[in-house]
Every structure is written in structure tokens, then in C-alpha cells.
């Protein structure tokens, strides 16, 4: 759709690891001065480096990049409006999944009372379509995508160290909230690991980069103290195990499992990580909550507040099962429950119930919840399909990275409405479009040059 993507292989399939650096420099030089490269290709490539490097460090850069991508995609839509273009079945499903949630939010909001703040955040999901079209038309260079994710992960660790050990902040947060900081750092590190095979082909030294990126993301997450984000770890481990299981022996799987277990135990037992402290505090908060009355101040913990909000949100859903109370009306409705003595006062402290799922149920009812699940599950299906049917390792790696993105955000959403936060929904929309377009780019490259693939 909208152009043929990249028309030549970016790298030689028979290159030796020892000459990988010189080959990459040659490819980069040729790419930047080549006849087929234009401003769009250079801009996208630079953006793939700048976006992850600045998303947790610099204000407004991520929004500016996303806006420019969106405008470029809309320009292409206008430019090719009279030309016959073919949208594949997978693209149609993808467009449906990202547009349905915003459209359902718009309808529900108009029905319950217009709230611009909510639509201003969720419109990122609709704008995934023009961003994808722009990236699909121009092409995505993997060298910039993978190195960008590695750079972003490593920088997040640096920011975390600066916040905690130099500024002496209690939790690492960059320029955003500690929860968002920790979650986004963790997912960048995990997405970097999806490109391990790409780095490994370029030499043993470069194969260390995604490992360092993963450790950096975990380290930043630990210093952020974002306990809710750690719930994603078992799901992400399961996704990676599912991906690699056909290629590893039983012995290798056992060794990997043992390593994961040892690292997890170390994170819990070493006091400096504070992982054990946060987990123990969570257990204590749950016990404290269960032993207290509704009006007790003992429920005013992080965990207790969430429990109160979730119960308030569930009652809103039961009272309004089809369309909910309307997006942007959670806080006032929760306050009514507090005034009636049904919930603790902490239930109305925020304008959302600290869960993507309970937020969808309370604000959007069954319609909103179904739209949310479609937003997640259709891309999951598309990525799994690409992993199983992808013709090249690059396609499968990109699909794994996209799958990691979705799984992580689904897990994060259990205790934090990541799509309700401007920075995190922008991050989700940006990389969702990136991975879908990159898969399409690699498929176009394979179709044009079927011999140019990894052995």
C-alpha cells in the first residue's frame, strides 16, 4: 500500500562477522548519499534514534516526531486519493483495531458529555493509521530501529542512576511519573532483546548490546520502584520462551530457566535493589487492607487505593453496563459513592481507577471494554501470524518486538491506565506503527529480492 517500500537489500547476506563494522559504515554512507534516499528516509532514520533517546528525558520531542509523521501520512493520503491502492486484509484488520477504540470513546463521550482531555490522548490510536502509511511508503531501516531501542534503554538506566544517586530522589522518574518511566524503560529493553539475532549476525561484540539494553531497562525499572510493571515480567518471559523453544535443546532451556530464576532471586534478596522491600510492602498493604473498615485510613496505601478504585469502577460498570458513565466522569461518580459511604475517600483521588481495564469498564461499559480488547488482541494475532509465517528472520524478530510491546502494555494496564497517559499512549502508538510498517517493509524487500535474506 502507498509505494513499494525499500527496493534493495540494505546489507549483504554473505558478510563475515569480522567485517561487520566496515560493512555497516559503507551501507550507512551509501544510504545517506544514495540516489534513492530522500529527506523522508533520513528523517525517519534519525527519528528512530532520537525518539527512544529522548522520550524519557526531553519534553515534547516525542510529540513533535509523532505529529510530523502523522502530517506526512495525511499528505500521502491526499496525494494518492485518486489512485487505486490495495489494502490487504491484515492492514484492514489493523486499521479497524486502532480506530475502533477511539471511535467508541468519541461516541460514548458525546453521549455522556464532551471531555476534550480524554479524546486528546486517545486520538493517538487513530493517528497510528497515517503514521503507518508514511512509514510503509518510505520504509524502515532496521539499523536505526534496533540501535535506537538499545540507546533508549541504556539512557534510561543513566537517567535512573542520576535521579536516585545524584539527585537523591526516592524513585527514578526522568521527566515523567516513576510508573511510566519504569514501564517504558523495561519495555524498551525487552524490545531490544527481540533484535538479538540481528546484532549477533554483526559480531559477538554487538550481540552484547541487546543484553546490555535489557539489563539497563530492568535496572531503570527497579530504581523506579514501579511494582505494577513487574507483573509484566512473567508474561514477557513466556513470550520469549515460546519464540525460542523450537530452536533450543532441553538442556539450553533448563539453563535459561535457571538463569532467570537466579536473577529473580538476586533482585529480591539484594537490599540495594529494593525489590524485596517493595514486594514485602505490597503483601503488608494487602493484609492491612483486608483487616480494615471502609472508612479506615489504613486503606490509603498505594495498593489499598487501587483496591478502592477498582471496586468503585466495578460498581459504575454494574450500574451502566453498556456505555459506562462516560469517559472523563470517573472521579465525580466515585465521589458520589464516597459521599454515600460505599467507598473510602481514596477512591475519588484520581480521574481514573488506576487500571486500563477497570477504566474501560467504568467509563465505556461493555462497548469500551470490547474495543480495548480488540485494540490489543488483533495486533497480537497479526504479530503471532508474522512470527509463524514470516519468510525471513528479520520479519519474525520485528513481530516478536511488536508482540512484546502489546503484552507489556496489557500487563501494565492491570494497575496503570497506560493509554490514558499522553507520553505512554504516544509511545505505544509510535512503536505499534513502526513494527507493523517495518514488517511490511521487510516483506516488500523479500518479494522484490527473494534471494536477499539471511541464510
Question: Tens digit of pLDDT for each residue in 408-455?
Answer: 999 999 999 999 999 999 999 999 999 999 999 999 887 776 655 443
Q: What is the pLDDT of residue 450?
A: 62
Task: Indicate the pLDDT class of residue 83, thresholds 50, 70 and 90.
Answer: confident
Q: Do residues 172 and 160 touch, judged by C-beta distance below 8 A?
A: yes
d(CA 243, CA 442): 19
Give the Å distances, CA to CA, from 184 to 180, 199, 216, 408: 6, 22, 12, 9
Least Cα distance to 226 among 188, 170, 166 occurs for: 170
Q: Is the pLDDT of residue 9 over 70?
A: no
Mean pLDDT for 73-84 is 84
pLDDT score recorded for residue 165: 93
Q: What percent of the chain has pLDDT over 70?
A: 88
Q: pLDDT-based confidence at 376, cuts 50/70/90?
A: very high
Which H or E run includes 367? helix 356-389
Burial of 2 (0-12, 13-18, 19+ CB in 10 A): buried
pTM exceeds cut of 0.75:
yes
Q: For residue 67, how far is the Cα from the chain centroid?
A: 18
Q: What is the pLDDT of residues 236-266, one digit of tens each?
A: 999 999 998 887 777 777 777 787 788 888 8
Higher pLDDT, 152 or 105: 152
- Are 416 and 179 spatial neighbours (Cβ–Cβ below 8 Å)? yes
> Would you state the pLDDT for residue 205?
92
- Among the residue ranges 27-31, 174-178, 262-266, 391-395, the one predicted with the least confidence is 27-31
| Cβ–Cβ under 8 Å, residues 304 and 285 | yes
Please check the confidence at residue 35 and state whether its pLDDT lies above 80: no
How confident is the model at residue 84, as a pLDDT? 62
Number of C-beta neighbours around residue 59 at 10 A: 11
Over residues 374-383, mean pLDDT:
98
Beta carbons within 8 Å of 134's beta carbon, 6+ residues apart = 40, 44, 69, 70, 72, 73, 76
Contact of 196 with 244, CB cutoff 8 Å: no
The pLDDT of residue 454: 47
Give pLDDT, residue 46.
96
Chain centroid to CA 100? 19
**Per-residue pLDDT, 171:** 94
Q: b/e for 413-427, b at 16 or more Cβ within 10 A? A: bbbbbbbbbbbbbbb
Which cell is 180 given? 511510566
Phi, psi of 79 (to 5 degrees): -60, -40
Q: What is the pLDDT of residues 119-137, one digit of tens each?
A: 888 999 999 999 999 999 9
Distances in Å between the alpha carbon of 179 and those of 106, 185, 417, 434? Answer: 27, 10, 11, 24
pLDDT in tens, 183-205: 999 999 999 999 999 999 998 89
* pLDDT attached to residue 7: 34
pLDDT of residue 213: 97
Mean pLDDT of the chain: 87
Amino acid at each position: 500500500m502507498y509505494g513499494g517500500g525499500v527496493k534493495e537489500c540494505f546489507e549483504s547476506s554473505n558478510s563475515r562477522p569480522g567485517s561487520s563494522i566496515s560493512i555497516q559504515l559503507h551501507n550507512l554512507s551509501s544510504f545517506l548519499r544514495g540516489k534513492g534516499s530522500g529527506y523522508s528516509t533520513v528523517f525517519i532514520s534519525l527519528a528512530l534514534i532520537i525518539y527512544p533517546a529522548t522520550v524519557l528525558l526531553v519534553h515534547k520531542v516525542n510529540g513533535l516526531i509523532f505529529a510530523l509523521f502523522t502530517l506526512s501520512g495525511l499528505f500521502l493520503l491526499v496525494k494518492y486519493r485518486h489512485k487505486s491502492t490495495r489494502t490487504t486484509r491484515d492492514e484492514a484488520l489493523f486499521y479497524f483495531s486502532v480506530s475502533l477504540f477511539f471511535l467508541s470513546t468519541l461516541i460514548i463521550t458525546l453521549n455522556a458529555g464532551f471531555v476534550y482531555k480524554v479524546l486528546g490522548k486517545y486520538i493517538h490510536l487513530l493517528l497510528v493509521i497515517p503514521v503507518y502509511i508514511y512509514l510503509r511508503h518510505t520504509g524502515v531501516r532496521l539499523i536505526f530501529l534496533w540501535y535506537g531501542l538499545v540507546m533508549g534503554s541504556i539512557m534510561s538506566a543513566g537517567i535512573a542512576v542520576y535521579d536516585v544517586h545524584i539527585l537523591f530522589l526516592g524513585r527514578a522518574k526522568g521527566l515523567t511519573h516513576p510508573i511510566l518511566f519504569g514501564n517504558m524503560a523495561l519495555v524498551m529493553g525487552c524490545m531490544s532483546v527481540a533484535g538479538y539475532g540481528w546484532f549477533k549476525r554483526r559480531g559477538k561484540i554487538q550481540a552484547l548490546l541487546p543484553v546490555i539494553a535489557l539489563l539497563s531497562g530492568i535496572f531503570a525499572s527497579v530504581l523506579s520502584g514501579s511494582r505494577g510493571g513487574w507483573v509484566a515480567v512473567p508474561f514477557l518471559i513466556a513470550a520469549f520462551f515460546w519464540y525460542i523453544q523450537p530452536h533450543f535443546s532441553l538442556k539450553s532451556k533448563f539453563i535459561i530457566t535457571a538463569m532467570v530464576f537466579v536473577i529473580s532471586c538476586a533482585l529480591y534478596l539484594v537490599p540495594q535493589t529494593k525489590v524485596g522491600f517493595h514486594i514485602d510492602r505490597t503483601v503488608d498493604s494487602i493484609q492491612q487492607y483486608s483487616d480494615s473498615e471502609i472508612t479506615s485510613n489504613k486503606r490509603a496505601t498505594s495498593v489499598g487505593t487501587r483496591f478502592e478504585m477498582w471496586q468503585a469502577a466495578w460498581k459504575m460498570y454494574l450500574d451502566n453496563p453498556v456505555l459506562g458513565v462516560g469517559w472523563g466522569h470517573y472521579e465525580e461518580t466515585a465521589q458520589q459513592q464516597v459521599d454515600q459511604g460505599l467507598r473510602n475517600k481514596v477512591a475519588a483521588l484520581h480521574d481514573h481507577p488506576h487500571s486500563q481495564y477497570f477504566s474501560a469498564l467504568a467509563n465505556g461499559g461493555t462497548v469500551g471494554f470490547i474495543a480495548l480488547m480488540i485494540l490489543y488482541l488483533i495486533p497480537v494475532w497479526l504479530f503471532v501470524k508474522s512470527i509463524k509465517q514470516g519468510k525471513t528472520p528479520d520479519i519474525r524478530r520485528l513481530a516478536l518486538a511488536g508482540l512484546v510491546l502489546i503484552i507489556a502494555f496489557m500487563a501494565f494496564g492491570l494497575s496503570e491506565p497506560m493509554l490514558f497517559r499522553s507520553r505512554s499512549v504516544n509511545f505505544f502508538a509510535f512503536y505499534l506503527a513502526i513494527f507493523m510498517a517495518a514488517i511490511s517493509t521487510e516483506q516488500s524487500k523479500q518479494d522484490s529480492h527473494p534471494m536477499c535474506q539471511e541464510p
